[in-house]
């Protein structure tokens, strides 16, 4: 039962252009949505998050959009840089009982080319 | 302030042996999570612990796996009688608060990669 889905395993974008990574979820009880970035042989690092009561959150080159009715969120990176090449994980969180834990998607590998 | 420290980074075990993975959370963090990443998959939640207590172990396999976070010392994820399917990267994460995971205050270690021969 994959509650958080990233249907594109990979994406290639030219440097300077916009990267758009997509994520769908099924559980309407999720309260927060996050994006994590992961380099090989390292742990995931937090990028940006959004509360379910908002539809947009921006932080520098990174913007996350949330469409609750479609149960869809996306991460926009503009302009894309070679250092952005990594695996991006979408994650969702909902306070269940006393535990706040993340449910991750399977990841999208972004390759930013020169 | 050191980050989340995991060791060993790489562990090789033969089928039937035991694997012990250790995690020292960031200073001041009392909330510890363990996640597992199988090849070509996302991270799957395993267990959430606070000092001396298991809060949520809904993602842990019912047999052979156990976790602890003692009053003193690191959190330990223990896998008994390992099988090839246990080969994965195991990530520990820590947070300073119950709801820190919601807003990005969940910090991951570099992971322990278990290979079962």
Give the per-residue pLDDT at B51. Answer: 87
Query: Which of B46, B52, B57, B25 is CA-nearest to residue B89?
Result: B46
CB-based contacts of A1, cutoff 8 Å, min separation 6: none
Give the per-residue pLDDT at B1. Answer: 53
H-helix segments, chain B: none
Contact A89 B4 (CB under 8 A): no
Instruction: Determine the Cα–Cα distance for residues A5 and B58; give it in Å rounded to an integer.
Output: 20
* Half-sphere exposure at residue B11, Cβ-oriented, CA atoms within 13 angstroms: 26
Residues B11 and B112: beta-carbon distance below 8 Å: yes
Least confident of A4-18, B29-43, B67-81: B29-43
Nearest CA in chain B to A36: B104
Query: Which of B53, B35, B62 is CA-nearest to residue B98?
Result: B53
Kindly list the distances between the CA atom of residue A78 and the CA atoms of A61, A62, B63, in Å, as whole numbers in the listed order.
Answer: 5, 7, 46
Residues B45 and B59: beta-carbon distance below 8 Å: yes
Give the model confidence (pLDDT) of A5-18 as tens digits. 999 999 999 999 99
Query: Which of A43, A44, A72, A47 is CA-nearest to residue A59?
Result: A47
Give the model confidence (pLDDT) of B85-108 as tens digits. 999 999 999 999 888 888 888 999
Q: In chain A, which residues have their Cβ closer than 8 Å to the Cβ of B106?
A: 46, 102
In this complex, which of A6, A31, A101 lies closest to B45 when CB atoms are compared?
A101
Mutation test of the interface with chain A: which of B31, B99, B101, choosing the one with the most A Cβ atoms within 10 A? Answer: B101
Give the per-residue pLDDT at B97. Answer: 86
């Amino acid at each position: 039962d994959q509650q958080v889905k990233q249907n594109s395993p990979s994406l290639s974008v030219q440097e300077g252009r916009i990267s758009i990574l997509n994520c769908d979820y099924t559980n309407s009880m999720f309260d927060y949505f996050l994006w994590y970035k992961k380099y090989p042989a390292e742990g995931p690092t937090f990028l940006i998050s959004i509360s379910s009561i908002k539809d947009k959150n921006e932080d520098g080159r990174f913007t996350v959009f949330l469409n609750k009715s479609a149960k869809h969120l996306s991460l926009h990176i503009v302009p894309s840089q070679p250092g952005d090449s990594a695996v991006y994980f979408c994650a969702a969180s909902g306070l269940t009982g006393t535990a706040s834990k993340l449910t991750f998607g399977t990841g999208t590998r972004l390759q930013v080319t020169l | 302030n050191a980050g989340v420290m995991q060791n060993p980074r790489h562990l090789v075990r033969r089928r039937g042996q035991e694997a012990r993975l250790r995690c020292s959370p960031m200073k001041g963090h009392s909330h510890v999570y363990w996640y597992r990443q199988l090849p070509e998959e996302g991270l799957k939640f395993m267990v959430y612990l606070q000092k001396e207590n298991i809060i949520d172990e809904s993602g842990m396999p019912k047999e052979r796996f156990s976790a602890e976070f003692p009053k003193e010392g690191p959190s330990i994820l223990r896998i008994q009688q390992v099988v090839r399917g246990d080969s994965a990267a195991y990530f520990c994460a820590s947070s300073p608060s119950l709801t820190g995971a919601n807003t990005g205050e969940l910090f991951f270690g570099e992971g322990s990669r278990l290979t079962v021969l």
